[in-house]
């Protein structure tokens, strides 16, 4: 075979590959998911498992549920919304912004009092007394205006009768993940955080006390497939994977 024939075949092969590549890429589905910040430990593992099983990739952004609610109302191009409560998904459902009958409870959250391992006060033993310690200048919680975990923290402090005493110490993270960062960085000496985040490798080294659930309203967490979903079938499949499939096991591993 002459060089010219070999070269011609090589060029033809490249042309075929180039024409096929867009088709292969087009077949690759991608979901765009908004997830409450308490899912930062569990959701990456869930998304990876879902892609391995279905071939559909999952792009996840994390934040406060209230902010996502506002963005979705303003037309954010998302497929699935995992909230840290059930209130925001139900409001979206009432507004006609969700797929019919897609709302599903996927977890029940809980909160902990978290302090660094170096703290002299031990929350598991001394509980609320640690927050009243003079060494604790700042207490980090999620912003209760738009973060369900922040509202749970305030409710627990109020039910215990120490909110008024401690409210000057409170510093608000934009979401529960940022509240955790405040304590990790030393900008706050204690935090009331999501239990799921306290189980992350970075926070597991600290001290924690699981706050009794009777001190705050139940943190029932729901998700919905949105009307704006471009891949509705894949979005519904992902939601089912989280609530009924292997994703449920991952959530349980992180206390959800």
Q: Hey, CA dihedral for 234, 61, 208, 148, is it positive or negative?
A: negative
Q: Tell me the per-residue pLDDT of 133-171, one tens digit each, with 9 for 90 and over.
A: 999 999 999 999 999 999 999 999 999 999 999 999 999
Tokens (6 digits) for 224: 């919905």
**DSSP output for the chain:** --HHHHHHHHHHHHHHHHHHHHHHHHH--EEEEEEEGGGTTTHHHHHHHHHHHHS-EEEEEEE-HHHHHHHHHTT---SEEE-SSSHHHHHHHHTT-B-TT--EEEEEE-EEEEE-TT-SS-HHHHTTHHHHSTT---EEEE-TTT-HHHHHHHHHHHHHT-HHHHGGGEEEESSHHHHHHHHHHTSSSEEEEEHHHHTSHHHHTSEEEEPPGGGS--EEEEEEEBTT-SSHHHHHHHHHHHHTSHHHHHHHHTT-
Intervals of CATH 3.40.190.10 along the chain: 9-108+220-253, 111-210
Q: Is 3.40.190.10 the CATH classification of the domain at 111-210?
A: yes
Average pLDDT (246-254) is: 96
Q: Tell me the per-residue pLDDT of 171-185, one tens digit each, with 9 for 90 and over.
A: 999 999 999 999 999
Residue 28, pLDDT score: 79
Average pLDDT (197-202) is: 94
Whole-angstrom distance, CA of residue 151 vs CA of residue 154: 5
In this prediction the pTM is 0.87
Instruction: Write down the CATH superfamily of domain 9-108+220-253.
Output: Periplasmic binding protein-like II (3.40.190.10)
163, 168, 173: which is closest to 141 by C-alpha? 173
Whole-angstrom distance, CA of residue 33 vs CA of residue 178: 19
Residue 176, pLDDT score: 97
| Partners of 220 in the β-ladder | 108
Cβ atoms of 40 and 15 closer than 8 Å: no
Q: Which residue has the tokens 């519904």?
A: 236
Q: Which residue has the tokens 């409560």?
A: 85
CA 163 to chain CA mean position, Å: 27
Q: Is the pLDDT of residue 27 over 70?
A: no
Cβ atoms of 57 and 31 closer than 8 Å: yes
Inter-axis angle of helices 43-54 and 232-243, to 10 degrees? 120
């Amino acid at each position: 075979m002459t060089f010219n024939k070999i070269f011609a075949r090589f060029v033809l092969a490249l042309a075929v590959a180039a024409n096929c590549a867009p088709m292969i890429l087009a077949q690759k589905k991608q979901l765009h998911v908004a997830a409450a910040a308490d899912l930062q430990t569990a959701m990456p593992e869930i998304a990876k498992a879902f892609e391995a099983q279905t071939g559909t990739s999952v792009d996840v952004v994390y934040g406060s549920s209230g902010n996502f609610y506002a963005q979705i109302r303003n037309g954010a191009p998302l497929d699935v919304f995992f909230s840290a409560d059930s209130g925001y998904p139900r409001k979206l459902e009432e507004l006609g912004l969700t797929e019919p009958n897609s709302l599903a409870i996927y977890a029940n959250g809980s909160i902990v009092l978290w302090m660094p391992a170096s703290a002299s006060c031990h929350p598991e033993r001394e509980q609320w007394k640690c927050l009243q310690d003079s060494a604790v200048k700042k207490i980090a919680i999620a912003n209760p205006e738009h973060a369900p975990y922040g509202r749970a923290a305030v409710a627990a402090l109020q039910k215990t009768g120490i909110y008024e005493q401690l409210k000057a110490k409170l510093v608000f993270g934009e979401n529960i993940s940022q509240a955790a960062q405040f304590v990790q960085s030393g900008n706050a000496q204690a935090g009331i955080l999501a239990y799921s985040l306290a189980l992350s490798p970075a926070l597991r080294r600290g001290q924690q006390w699981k706050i009794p659930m009777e001190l705050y309203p139940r943190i029932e967490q729901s998700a919905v497939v949105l009307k704006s979903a471009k891949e509705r079938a894949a979005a519904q499949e992902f939601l089912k994977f989280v609530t009924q499939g292997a994703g449920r096991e991952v959530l349980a591993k992180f206390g959800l």
